[in-house]
Amino acid sequence: MTMQYGPSYVREIAPYVAGKPISEVAREFGLDEARIVKLASNENPLGIPESAQTAMTRAAAELGRYPDANAFELKAALAARYGVPAEWITLGNGSNDILEIAAHAFVEKGQSVVYSQYSFAVYALATQGLGARAIVVPAVDYGHDLDAMLAAIEDDTRLVFIANPNNPTGTFIEGPALEAFLERVPRRVVVVLDEAYTEYLAARHRYDSIAWVRRYPNLVVSRTFSKAFGLAGLRVGFAIAQPELTDLLNRLRQPFNVNTIAQAAAIAALGDAAFLERTAELNATGYRRLAEAFDTLGLEYVPSFGNFVLVRVGNDDGAGARVNLALLRQGVIVRPVGNYGLPQWLRVTIGLPEENEAFIAALGKALAQG
């Protein structure tokens, strides 16, 4: 008999599928890296803000020493920006780290975690990694069904994950509906509100989740520098919650989970209002262009509040993989979402105007190939 290592709940985890790196696609398909368009990981097409680039170069001189484990300056900047005490902030190596830490902090093996069908893959990974039980609530119109999620909470439920806007579907819950949900969730259940795309919301859709953190002792708001702030490769995320929860998160956090360069870059990016504004504008324009192209091609898509769009590229379960391969051959990388149970769909990140055009042209050809 072959040896089986590790608990069964770890062996049963389906590994996270990341967007294909440009170098890998170039090798695999014999393409020139410079001509490959990557719209697969919801990165900011503008890249790193120049302000952050400058801060990184300066911080590099300090790399012989350990990072500031408490990230005094970054926490001070976040505290000022969001109007909370520094004691309410937990830093993560990306917000993925925050999601993992939260699962470990609030849930024991055997207890349950509630999240929605078609919500971010990391919720399932964090739950399974603990040997906890996932209660996956069917989505409505590809988004969260908050009433059903509330009804799904059981006696042993300790955590609810909500992504708003959600990835990979791009759906959004308006503030009042979310607040009504928070009001009704039992206080023993922690709610992690994952707002990775909040900076992309138009003014009329914004709501004040930090005010909710003051009101609800069981709420953790999670944010990231990976999307609108343009620092995906540096891995910085953070959580805002009342001190009782924050204290638990910080006990589990690895002391040096955010490195020196990342801390410096995040401070600079946080202060770069012009970059955020350009990012949101570029995204809104790109979204309109993609929506128009999908309409022209007769493709269904889910209206998106993030920096990506979920589009249905066929009516058979081979469609996503087939069209994805046809796009890869043309040097366009998007994200197949069969692992989310959406085999007829692709998720495409909104890029620079020329990247969007390259994708649209390649998609037209891919679909014509049938």
Ligand X SMILES: *Cc1c(COP(=O)(O)O)cnc(C)c1O
Q: Which residues bind ligand X (CB under 6 A)?
A: 42, 94-96, 120, 163, 167, 194, 196, 224, 226-227, 232, 237
We find the least distance from the C-beta atom of residue 193 to ligand X, in angstroms, to be 11
Question: How far is it, in rounded angstroms, from Cα 259 to Cα 71?
Answer: 9
Look at residues 108, 113, 117 and name the one whose alpha carbon lies nearest to residue 141. 117
Using DSSP bridges, classify how beta strands 112-116 and 301-302 pair: parallel, antiparallel or unpaired: unpaired
We find the least distance from the C-beta atom of residue 142 to ligand X, in angstroms, to be 14
Using DSSP bridges, classify how beta strands 332-333 and 37-38 pair: parallel, antiparallel or unpaired: parallel
Q: Which is nearer to ligand X, 237 or 320 (CB)?
A: 237
Question: How far is it, in rounded angstroms, from Cα 34 to Cα 20?
Answer: 15
Q: Which is nearer to ligand X, 16 or 66 (CB)?
A: 16
End-to-end Cα spacing for the chain: 47
Q: Which residue is nearest to ligand X (CB)?
A: 94
With a CB cutoff of 8 Å and minimum separation 6, the contacts of 11 are 4
Tokens encoding 158: 């300790």
Q: Which is nearer to ligand X, 149 or 319 (CB)?
A: 149
Q: List C-alpha distances in Å: 203 to 207, 222, 238, 302, 312.
A: 9, 20, 22, 20, 28
We find the least distance from the C-beta atom of residue 196 to ligand X, in angstroms, to be 4
We find the least distance from the C-beta atom of residue 276 to ligand X, in angstroms, to be 16
Q: Which is nearer to ligand X, 102 or 366 (CB)?
A: 102
We find the least distance from the C-beta atom of residue 317 to ligand X, in angstroms, to be 24
We find the least distance from the C-beta atom of residue 179 to ligand X, in angstroms, to be 20
Q: Which amino acid is at 288?
A: R
Look at residues 300, 307, 335, 321 and name the one whose alpha carbon lies nearest to residue 366. 321
3-state SS class at 311: strand
We find the least distance from the C-beta atom of residue 364 to ligand X, in angstroms, to be 27
Q: Which is nearer to ligand X, 96 or 116 (CB)?
A: 96
Q: Which is nearer to ligand X, 90 or 95 (CB)?
A: 95
Q: How many CB atoms lie within 10 A of CB 316?
A: 9
We find the least distance from the C-beta atom of residue 289 to ligand X, in angstroms, to be 22
Q: Which is nearer to ligand X, 259 or 322 (CB)?
A: 259
Q: Which amino acid is at 255?
A: P
Q: Which amino acid is at 233?
A: G
We find the least distance from the C-beta atom of residue 369 to ligand X, in angstroms, to be 30
Q: Which is nearer to ligand X, 96 or 257 (CB)?
A: 96
SS (H, E, C) 135-185: EEECCECCECCHHHHHHHCCCCEEEEEEECCCCCCCCCCCHHHHHHHHHHC
Burial class (CB in 10 A: 0-12, 13-18, 19+), 53: middle
Q: Which is nearer to ligand X, 226 or 242 (CB)?
A: 226
